[in-house]
Structure 1
Amino acid sequence: MLDNPGEIALYFFATVAGIQIIYFLFIFSRVAFYSRKFDLDHAPEGPVSVIICAKDEELNLQKNLPLVLQQRYHQHLKPTYEVIVVNDNSEDDTRYYLRSIEPGYPHYRHIEIKQAAKFIPGKKYPLSIGLKGAQYEHVLLTDADCKPSSTYWLSIMSQGFTDDKDIVLGYSPYHKKPGFLNKVIRYETFFSALQHLSFAMSGMAYMGVGRNLAYKRELFFRHKGFTSHQHLASGDDDLFVNAAATRKNVGVVIDKQAFTFSEPKQTWGSWFRQKTRHMSTGKHYRFGHKFVLGLFSLTHFLFYPAFIAALFFPPPIIWLALGIFGLKVLIQSIITYTAMRRLEESDLFKYSWLMDILMVLYYIIFTPALMFRSKNRW
């Protein structure tokens, strides 16, 4: 029995820190030490359908769609992929732009949706229409505001499909901009990717990000699309992956030439609303996924308070607590820095410990999103 409050505080802190160390050593290290190389010159280029859903995205499409249409993905000088843009009831001039570029790209077409689907909010209905209209079995999804990092994006992402991989997860960072908000957004995006990509490589894929996500049409229709969660505005990416993923059917592609960059939110309010909407789907994950994610988040949240509590006790408690703290800091720093380099986010490392402390506030602010319904909108 532990009768000494100092020993109780130390053992509690050691348990919290130990769980965190296990996550970093055995799960998050998979992104940090990802080593697969991709062939840019002799890769098999089977047919792929790229699908983009757009709603009032004329300016973003003008900027980014040509980069999708000009991918190096050809056989005998002919594109071996198609690009489908689903225009979902846009009120700007999106439809006129989409029509104007059709003559120049034989591998491109667009679908007009002129009537909203009742009781199916968000982009699940237009995405389903795009998937039904796709010619090819392999589909790659991105958004109108996403810019491929290179002309090899499609080629590298398609290499994620192998005989046993039905889902391919990519990385979609945000553009670097001045200001603290941009660093917070980019760090949160990095941290989310560190988790979901590492868990996927550990055989526990629980989500994907629709800005850079691929899967097979057969898998989509076998799982009846978005039927089980069509009443939710979000979840066209993470809830589908959560339901369709197995321990073996998910591949991960990490390559700087296969990223898709997005424009970050410019105000705290707009970012808060975006994160609240996205996180509201977490309560619909499988129980096992919620448990492992919840355990990490809980111990992450408790780490600093537990450490501070242990410092109020005299030696040897305080020295042991400092040693445990230093070990955790060392392991986390090595894996975080290596993973940031892998994901081309190494400029964020100097802010990483400040961001790690601020994650305590992040949990406090966004945890309610896991318990309450979000508004159903794009």
Structure 2
Amino acid sequence: MLLSVFCLFIAVVVVQFLYYIVIFGKFSFAKPQVNTPKRIPVSVIVCAKNEEENVKKFVPLLAEQDYATFEIVLIDDASSDNTLEIFEEFEKQYPNVKLVKVENNEAFWGNKKFALTLGIKAAKYDYLLFTDADCHPVSKDWISSMSSQFTMSKTIVLGYGAYDKITNSFLNKIIRFETLLTATQYFSWAKIGKPYMGVGRNMAYRRDEFFKVRGFMDHMKIRSGDDDLFINQAATGDNTTICYLPESFTYSEPKKTFKDWFTQKRRHVSTAKHYKLFDRNQLGLFYASQLLFIILPIILLAFQFQWIAVVSITGFRYLFAWLTMGFAAGKLKEKDVMYWFPIIEIVLIFTQLNVFITNTFSKPVHWK
């Protein structure tokens, strides 16, 4: 019996090696990217619902971007606070700001995808760059950096949406590590030619890619997924690339309590069940191997089964995982979270298990 458990443990570590070195290594060990500026006009699209405090701070940062030709499409999704009034002031202040007002629609009430569709249709330019109302670009070269990765064939660009390091709290480190791991995954699969998701905090695509798949129509009834479900449907190995230039990052304020972060993760995980079968299976296999890697050595050591072999294999796995994620963290400016890697990983694995169990018995809440 213990020999079978040990063989399973070895198989799990082999699976982990394939993920971390063969797949994630495509991004982690890639050469630094080169910024090749383009002169294409860009429409920056921001959708907001009751975000008055955030838009006051962040829209001016978008307006100050160092880029020749761009507009900012501000979408007010039937806000009940002062978001619309603030947007109207920005429209007067900045000549390149366009305001889209969304009224409550009985068929699409509270649906962010409906609001985004109106904004996409209203955009002046064909190249669209998306971020959220609670995000800010890391530099004035954000538009320049993201648009630099467009080519005649690469018409979808996946960027990195990071979270601010606002405290030294352990929760902040967990959130940023989870964001780092997620980005490493979707960047790596995109480099392999199997893109499966992106984040609405930082992505770009040409408008015709939106209409090729009928926009959000195939998943309009699913409240979440204006970013990852769209990419899962529209992105291919031929039309998708990534951008990890340091000037291209966006940052958001992370959740401050475990409860709020847990609720956020429930929404994200509930959306993933609508991915293509291959993408669901590869994600499921990875997280299953993560969980088994934690459980199996505990069982083997509890029964004193060849502890030297178990500890050696465990150490080998931590070595290659740490190495891969360390290089990824260097590219995405998240090195400090790697000092806590083993502990954060364990907490994250069991949090994800808790999310899966909780979502099985109740539905998460989506767009405000």
Give TM class, smaller chain: over 0.9
* Per-residue deviation, residues 1-40 of structure 1 (Å, max 9, x unmatched): xxxx33222211100011001100011112212324333x
1:106 to 1:14, Cα distance in 2 relative to 1, 3 A: same
* Per-residue deviation, residues 41-94 of structure 1 (Å, max 9, x unmatched): x722201111000111122111011111111111xxxxx111100111112222
Look up the match of 2:15: 19
Kept in 2: contact 1:312–1:318 (CA 8 A):
no
Deviation at 1:312, TM superposition (A): 4.4
Look up the match of 1:66: 60
Look up the match of 2:163: 174
Deviation at 1:222, TM superposition (A): 1.2
Which deviates more from structure 2 when the two are superposed, residues 335-344 or residues 101-110?
Answer: 101-110
1:161 to 1:114, Cα distance in 2 relative to 1, 3 A: same
Kept in 2: contact 1:29–1:335 (CA 8 A):
yes
* Per-residue deviation, residues 190-244 of structure 1 (Å, max 9, x unmatched): 1111111111111111111000011111010110111111111101000000011
Look up the match of 1:77: none
1:61 to 1:373, Cα distance in 2 relative to 1, 3 A: same
Kept in 1: contact 2:33–2:244 (CA 8 A):
no
Q: Residue 9 in 1 paired to residue 8 in 2? A: no
2:163 alignment partner, SS class: coil
2:179 to 185, 189, 211: 189
- Distance in 1 (alpha carbons) for counterparts of 2:346 and 2:75: 41
1:47 to 31, 41, 45: 41
- Distance in 2 (alpha carbons) for counterparts of 1:121 and 1:89: 8
Which deviates more from structure 2 when the two are superposed, residues 172-181 or residues 317-326?
Answer: 317-326
- Distance in 2 (alpha carbons) for counterparts of 1:313 and 1:374: 40
Look up the match of 1:241: 231
Deviation at 1:368, TM superposition (A): 3.3
Which deviates more from structure 2 when the two are superposed, residues 249-258 or residues 359-368?
Answer: 359-368
Given residue 202 of structure 2, which amino acid in structure 1 is its aligned partner?
A: N
Aligned residues: 366
Which deviates more from structure 2 when the two are superposed, residues 322-331 or residues 101-110?
Answer: 101-110
Equivalent residues in 2 for 1:30-179, closer than 5 Å: 30-39=26-35, 43-74=37-68, 80-119=69-108, 121-178=110-167, 179=169
* CA RMSD, Structure 1 to Structure 2 (Å): 1.7
Look up the match of 1:303: 293
Given residue 25 of structure 1, which amino acid in structure 2 is its aligned partner?
A: I
Structure 2 stretches of 5 or more lacking a match?
none
- Distance in 2 (alpha carbons) for counterparts of 1:373 and 1:246: 30
Q: Residue 259 in 1 paired to residue 249 in 2? A: yes
1:108 to 1:369, Cα distance in 2 relative to 1, 3 A: farther
Given residue 205 of structure 1, which amino acid in structure 2 is its aligned partner?
A: P
TM-score calculated relative to the size of structure 2: 0.95
TM-score calculated relative to the size of structure 1: 0.92
1:326 alignment partner, SS class: helix
Deviation at 1:116, TM superposition (A): 3.3
Kept in 1: contact 2:135–2:250 (CA 8 A):
yes
Point out 4+ residue stretches in structure 1 off by more than 4 angstroms: 312-315, 369-372
- Distance in 2 (alpha carbons) for counterparts of 1:173 and 1:273: 18
Q: Residue 274 in 1 paired to residue 264 in 2? A: yes
- Distance in 2 (alpha carbons) for counterparts of 1:251 and 1:235: 20
| % identity of equivalent residues | 37
- Distance in 2 (alpha carbons) for counterparts of 1:345 and 1:209: 18
* Per-residue deviation, residues 159-207 of structure 1 (Å, max 9, x unmatched): 1211221211100111112222212211111111111111111111111
- Distance in 2 (alpha carbons) for counterparts of 1:117 and 1:130: 19
Given residue 265 of structure 2, which amino acid in structure 1 is its aligned partner?
A: K
Deviation at 1:120, TM superposition (A): 5.3
- Distance in 2 (alpha carbons) for counterparts of 1:176 and 1:105: 30
2:71 alignment partner, SS class: strand
1:30 to 1:369, Cα distance in 2 relative to 1, 3 A: farther
Deviation at 1:248, TM superposition (A): 2.1
